Amino acid sequence: MKRGARLPGTPDPMHIWSGADGLRIAGDSWGDPSDPLVVLLHGGGQTRHAWGGTGELLGTSGYHAVAFDARGHGDSDWSPEGDYSQDAFVRDLRCVLDALGATCPTLIGASLGGGTSLVSVGEEHVEANALVLVDIVPSTEAAGVARIRTFMGQKPDGFASLEEVADAISAYQPQRRRPDNLDGLAKNVRLSDDGVYRWHWDPRFLAYPRDLGERRRRLSASARKLAVPTLLVRGGSSDVVSEEGVREFLDLCPQAEYVNVAQAGHMVAGDRNDIFGHATIDFLARHVPA
């Protein structure tokens, strides 16, 4: 399947870097490049735009924040081979850091991006100053993960209008107000040759085979090895990460700090960017001062 055309109004990426396998990786940045680097990795089905508010806050707080679209998402290339493995995402991160000339960044990762960050640091692919994991632990809740996959897999034949897209998002995130102006949806979909709107991500991302037992083992092993300052942030109403999953992570990584963000679901930064942003700034101020 072709990825479709970008809609008018879709923000152009500020940067294009070369990722693993020659893929183009699109990114944005905030703040002074001479300030401490903070790299923001979004969740599956999201884009770099999920970090817009956090990136701006970090940039005005004395940090150089960088967010990029994961392969198969947003304005980054789709993998010709459909390689959406954990290792591929780690290699892309490593390529972006090399392109930035970065040493010892702070990684902030949500869900998919959190897994990439955790493995990158725990398996010593990246030497980091600090790590912030957003609603991601080794043992996630099957029902919550299934709900995400159902949302991402709906309407494979596409949406007839942006109104249909908005309805689908509202049904998935009823706690958020449905926007009156739909222009902001331009960055979430592409217009296909057949005149319908489809999500921005490569459908093969969902279809990529994943061994959940191996994933849990790998994330658990990485958590045990963490030696950097680590903050785990959970959405108080998340159906993907439970308090039991949090306790298991804290047993694996007892030095980690933990924040529960009330009135936030799995999309913590989007649901309560105010609380999330200030909790992150407080953590960084103590461990990676600007």
**Residue 18 to residue 91: CA distance in whole angstroms:** 11
Q: What residues are paired with 16 via a beta bridge?
A: 26
Alpha helices per DSSP H over the chain = 52-60, 86-100, 112-122, 142-153, 162-172, 203-207, 212-225, 243-252, 268-271, 273-287
Helix (H, G, I), strand (E, B) or coil at 188: helix
The number of angstroms, rounded, from the C-alpha of 142 to the middle of its chain's C-alpha atoms is 19
Q: Is the pLDDT of residue 182 over 80?
A: yes
Average pLDDT of 13-28?
97
Q: What residues does each domain of the chain span?
A: 15-140+204-287, 145-202
**Residue 278 to residue 284: CA distance in whole angstroms:** 10
Please state the φ and ψ torsions of residue 83, each to the nearest 5 degrees: -85, 100
Per the CB < 8 A criterion, the answer to whether 43 and 111 are in contact is: yes
pLDDT given at position 208: 93
For residue 13, the 8-state DSSP code is P
| Single pTM value for the model | 0.95
Q: Is the pLDDT of residue 102 over 80?
A: yes
CB count within 10 Å of CB 28 equals: 22
**Residue 118 to residue 131: CA distance in whole angstroms:** 8
Helix (H, G, I), strand (E, B) or coil at 128: coil
Concatenated DSSP letters of 225-264: H--S-EEEEEETT-SSS-HHHHHHHHHHSTT-EEEEETT-
Token representation of residue 202: 């490569």
Q: Which tens digit of pLDDT belongs to each residue from 188-230?
A: 999 999 999 999 999 999 999 989 999 999 999 999 999 999 9
pLDDT given at position 269: 74
pLDDT given at position 271: 59
Token representation of residue 85: 């493995």
Alpha carbons within 13 angstroms on the beta-carbon side of residue 17 total 23
The band of 96, judged by pLDDT with boundaries at 50, 70 and 90, is very high
* CATH architecture for the domain at 15-140+204-287: 3-Layer(aba) Sandwich (3.40)
Helix (H, G, I), strand (E, B) or coil at 59: helix
**Residue 26 to residue 15: CA distance in whole angstroms:** 6
